[in-house]
Structure 1
């Protein structure tokens, strides 16, 4: 279940890049808890990047 609203995505104060994190699943067993999530950082294209 997506718990974060997508209309407000936090950005880094210096570069303006968005860091998006989506929680997928929480595994809980006795006293152990493991969170499974995916993250994406918008770095954009740099001037010297080659296509492909």
Structure 2
């Protein structure tokens, strides 16, 4: 399982990424200082690992 501290936003941003989501999810991400792009990347990595295990 992914830890929230692993998804915290870095201080500097080099690119802007836009992810469409529900307002409540966006508020939760902002409240916990979670980077949407890092969350997306971690989720993709986990999905790829699960697929390889099949």
TM-score bracket relative to the smaller structure: under 0.3
TM-score normalised according to structure 1 size: 0.21
Which structure has the highest helix share of the two? 2
Which of 1 and 2 has higher RCO (CA within 8 Å, sep 6+)? 2
Which structure has the highest strand share of the two? 1
TM-score normalised according to structure 2 size: 0.21
